Structure formats: C-alpha cells, structure tokens
Amino acid sequence: MFIAIIWINHHYLMRLVAAPTLRLIWINFAHLFMVSFLPFATAWVARTQLGSSPVALYAALFVCIDIAYNIFEREVLARTETAHVSARVRRVARRRSLVVLAIFTTATLVAFVAPRVGFALICSALILHVRPDLTNR
C-alpha cells in the first residue's frame, strides 16, 4: 500500500513539473533511497511480531522518508506556477505534511512503550497521503 501511495503522490507532483532540474532529481533520489530501506525494516517488524525496537526504527525511517518527501514536495511547488496550484492548496499540502511528520515522530516515541499503538499511528499517517489533492477545483 505504501508503494502505491508513493507512486500516486509522485505522479501528482511530477505532472506539475515542466522540466525537472538536477536539484529536483537529487531530492527525488534521496527520497527513493530512504524508501529502499523499508523492506529491511518491514521484515524486522514482521520477524519480531511488532517488537518495540523494530517498530520504533520503522517509524523513524518513515520520519526520514517524510522529511525527504516534504523537501521534494516543497521544491516542486516552489517551481509550479500559481495558476496550476492555488495558495489554498499549497497551504493544505504544507499543513498535511507537517501533521504527517508529527504523527510519524510521535509513533517513533510511542513505539518504545506501545509498539502496536506506534504501528497504528504509522498506518493512520499514511492514510493522510492516499489522496494528494494538488489540483485546483
């Protein structure tokens, strides 16, 4: 499901870019590099059946992935004309990004004492990215 969320959000953002810059390509690479660690963290979480340290690491990895995504999103929106994305949509995207980052950070801390709650927080944060909403309506 997470790969689908990444793909959908990446597609929505990249359609706003006329010509990707080298900076945008490197930011995208950093984001995808962080994502490449997910199979290892997922396997550890599964092997330990939601052990506290693996879930905390999993959540911390999502913090890193989300920071990279936020930078990617900000770079794309900074290069996008306001005709394509309104100020209101930009504000909503920024607020959503901050809320998701706060949830992942909270999940990292909570996972040490309540790993199932931490894992539930991770899942709830991902749901907020299911629909990018980066178009003017």
Determine the average pLDDT of the residues in 85-90: 81
Assign 27 a pLDDT band (cuts: 50, 70, 90).
very high
Confidence of residue 33 (pLDDT cuts 50, 70, 90): very high
Average pLDDT of span 96-113: 96
φ, ψ (nearest 5 deg) of residue 132: -65, -35
CB 118 within 8 A of CB 108: yes
Percent of the chain with pLDDT over 70: 94
Mean of the per-residue pLDDT values for the chain? 89
Q: Does residue 80 form part of some domain?
A: yes
Is 137 contained in some domain? no
Is the model's pTM score more than 0.85? yes
Alpha-carbon distance of 36 to 30, in angstroms, equals 10
pLDDT band at 118 (very low <50, low <70, confident <90, very high): very high
**39, part of any domain:** yes
- Report the domain count for the chain: 1
Percent of the chain with pLDDT over 90: 58
Q: Which residues contact 10 (CB under 8 A, 6 or more apart)?
A: 28
Q: Is residue 85 part of a domain?
A: yes
Q: Please give the pLDDT value at position 133.
A: 65
* 40 located within any domain: yes
Domain that holds residue 117: 2-127
Instruction: State mean pLDDT over 122-133.
Output: 85
Structural domain includes residue 133 = no
End-to-end CA distance of the chain: 27
